[in-house]
Structure formats: C-alpha cells, structure tokens
Amino acid sequence: MATASTASRITRKIGIAVKKAASRKKGWYDLHMAAASGAIAQRLPLVDLVAEIRDARIPLSSEYELLRDFPALSKRIVVMNKIDLADQTQVKGWMRYFEQQNCIPYGVNSHNKDSVKGLLNFIQAQVRGLCKANHHASETITIMLVGIPNVGKSALANSLHQMGRISAAEKGRLKHATVSPQPGETKDISSFKIGSHPNIYLLDTPGILPCMIHDAELCSKLVLTGAIRDGLIEQKELARYFLAILNLSDQYKKWAKFSANEDRLLSFIEHKEEGSISSKLEMRQKKQHMMDHTQDLIVNDVRGTIFDTISCFDGDIELEEDMIKLMEAELVALRDAFRVPQGLGEYVYNRVVGVKLLDLYRSGRLGHYTLDTLPLTLHHPL
C-alpha cells in the first residue's frame, strides 16, 4: 500500500538521523552496557530460567539479542510488558507467535497490581513445573530478567518482590531496584526474592542494546518508545514520526466529540442570544471552563485539535509530501492546545510541542499502538 511505503520512508529517515547523531555523539552503547553484557553472559548458563522482558508495542524490535548467543538455553518466558499501551487486537496474535517460537509468552502491565500478581502466579507455576520435570533437588531457583533498556524490568522486579514477600508472609526491609523513565539507569545485577518453598530469586539486569543497529526502522521504533534516549534527535522529528503513525490509523476518528466545531456552534447560539441575562451567564461560565487548564482538558483539546486538522486536510496522505504538510499543520495547531506561550520562537515552539506530544503518546493518552507487524509466517489455528 502507498500509505505503508509513506510511513516506512518517514520511519527510515528518522532512524538514519538517529544513527548519524549516535556516530557524532555518545551513542546508546556505553561502557556499562559492555561490562554488563559480559557479566550476564557468564551467569546465563547458570540460572534455572530466563524471563525476557519485551515492550508489547514493539514485540520484535525489543528482542534481547544477547540471547542469540545461547541457543542451547531451554524454554524461556517472553514477558510482553506495557500491554496497556499496545493495540489490544494484536496482543493475542503475538502470544501465538511466541508460542510457535518455542517460548512461553505472558502479557503484563507492570503498573497494575492484579496484572503483576497474575505474572507472579504464572512464574511460580512455571517453577513448580520445572522442578517436577527435572526432579529439581535444589531448594533455590534463580530466574534472570533480561531485556533492552526501558522495557520495565526493574519495575517488574520491585513489584514481584513486594508481592512475593507479602504472599510468603515474610517480614523485613524490601530491597528496591532503581526505576527510571530514562533508559540505562540499572547498572548492576541485583537479586530479589519472590517466593518460598522453593526459594525463588529474580536477577534484575541492566538493559542492553546491540552496539550497532543496522536497521533504520528498528532504530526509529526504539527511540520513539524510549529504549534509546531522546537526546540523539530533535523532539520535533520524533513527534512527526508519531503523527505519521497516528494519521494513518483510525484512532483520531474516535475523537470527534472533542472537535472545536461544537464550540463554534455554541458561540454562534450565544451570540444570537447575547441580550438575555441567562445567555451572558452561560458565556461567562463557558469562558471560566475554558480557563481550566487541567491535564484532562489539555488532553481532550489535543485530541480535538488533531481530529479537526486531519478532518479539514484536503491532501492525500498516501503521498509523502502531503503527509509532511499535514504533520506541520498539526504541530502548529497543537501550540494552542498545549497552551504554549506566545513569543518563544520557532525552535522552542517545536521542542515544547514535541516533548508534550511524546509524553501523551508514551503514556497511552493518545491511543494504543503496536509498531511491529506480525510476521507472515505466523500459523493461524484452523
């Protein structure tokens, strides 16, 4: 499809820009990643189970490549984290895909207590099955959490540890992993107890990326989802990439109720009736409401602004030139929706809008998107 090729061209351009910036600046692979790779490689053959954490928005692109060096590893758990941010219609398809890859898949939202509790029960069941199948005599089972940066390993480790200690009715000070929205915050391998009888320990490891990423589209997906730090490319470029994804989806059609057209209609009615006391009171209340800059109001204004801009656009978004025109129109219109002060200059405008738009995307407030496409080799059940 032409739309797919348009999106791919935009995606590749972003990825190429990220790679060029990485070659000029300090890239995504640093000394701590190199050291951690060696430490993880030494321990991998010694653990009982490996849980690879992936980002459900990019189930393929968030692959932990270091595991390719250990083909002899027994079945591993693939935990798709952040399923609350992914396209829910695609999650089951990806679960089937990983099953066909001889992995044990599980989807989780690390910020939802019930979801994490389900993962804990799932892991404990896998351990019991492992012990039974292998006649495991040891009273201690170790599970290594691995993954690329910012997929939520440390948040999961903390939550699983806390719930495991509570369910085991154990007391004592909890040991917390460092959790940060910035990739690369976990520096060392840490151990967390999550179960008793047998004792189950999680090894939380630093996020590791390949030292070289040759695929430009892969690079774009990693930086958009936060696995690669934002500083390698201007926020405006990342915002344009997200807008290209949004514009080619049906998500914006759900935001018609936030359209400003209704406000224009109300204003017209109020103008015709402006002589009445009740009309003037309603107008004052409306103005007061519009001055309420709470987060929900801003988000709804952003949704309405995007809906109106796309709906009024008369170009063909299957053409890259027209898509770029639409994205530029959206970025300009979003200045008012985000309440950006006047007189800041074009560069600051673009930076502020870009940062705010990315925040809304990454928190799921502008829809849920899965950026990877299911492989054609997926065998669907009859």
The pLDDT of residue 21 is 85
| In a domain? residue 274 | no
- Could you state, in chain order, the average pLDDT of each consecutive group of 10 residues for the chain (382 residues)? 67 88 78 88 91 97 92 83 95 94 94 94 90 71 94 91 70 46 58 86 92 91 92 89 93 91 47 45 45 70 95 91 94 94 87 95 95 76 46
| Alpha-carbon gap, residue 193 to 177, rounded angstroms | 12
| In a domain? residue 242 | yes
| In a domain? residue 275 | no
User: 168 and 34 share a domain?
Assistant: yes
| In a domain? residue 343 | yes
User: 240 and 336 share a domain?
Assistant: yes
User: 138 and 20 share a domain?
Assistant: no
The pLDDT of residue 294 is 52
Q: Are 120 and 160 in contact (CB under 8 A)?
A: yes
User: 41 and 176 share a domain?
Assistant: yes
Q: What are the start-end ranges of the H helices in the chain? A: 2-24, 31-43, 88-100, 113-134, 153-167, 216-224, 235-247, 261-272, 277-290, 295-312, 320-337, 346-362
User: 94 and 178 share a domain?
Assistant: yes
User: 183 and 331 share a domain?
Assistant: no
φ and ψ at residue 104, rounded to 5 degrees: -105, 105
- Is this model's pTM higher than 0.75 or not? yes
User: 237 and 298 share a domain?
Assistant: yes
Q: What is the CATH number of the domain that holds 151?
A: 3.40.50.300
| In a domain? residue 85 | yes
- Number of CB atoms found within 10 A of residue 14's CB: 22
| Alpha-carbon gap, residue 304 to 277, rounded angstroms | 30
The pLDDT of residue 136 is 59
User: 238 and 374 share a domain?
Assistant: yes
User: 44 and 17 share a domain?
Assistant: no
Domain boundary among 159, 183, 204: 204
Q: Are 207 and 228 in contact (CB under 8 A)?
A: no
The pLDDT of residue 137 is 57
Instruction: Tell whether the torsion through CA atoms of 327, 331, 334 and 336 is positive or negative.
Output: negative
User: 20 and 63 share a domain?
Assistant: no
The pLDDT of residue 377 is 64
User: 23 and 47 share a domain?
Assistant: no
| In a domain? residue 48 | yes
| Termini Cα distance of the chain | 28
User: 335 and 260 share a domain?
Assistant: yes
Q: Which residue in 328, 340, 347, 345 sits closest to 235, CA to CA?
A: 347
Which contacts of 161-170 are long-range, i.e. CB under 8 A and separated by 24 or more positions? 161/192, 161/193, 161/194, 161/202, 163/113, 163/116, 163/117, 163/120, 163/194, 164/120, 164/193, 164/194, 164/195, 164/200, 165/193, 165/194, 167/120, 167/195, 168/195, 168/196, 170/196
Domain range for 103? 30-204
Domain boundary among 204, 229, 251: 204
3-class secondary structure, 206: coil
Q: Are 174 and 162 in contact (CB under 8 A)?
A: yes
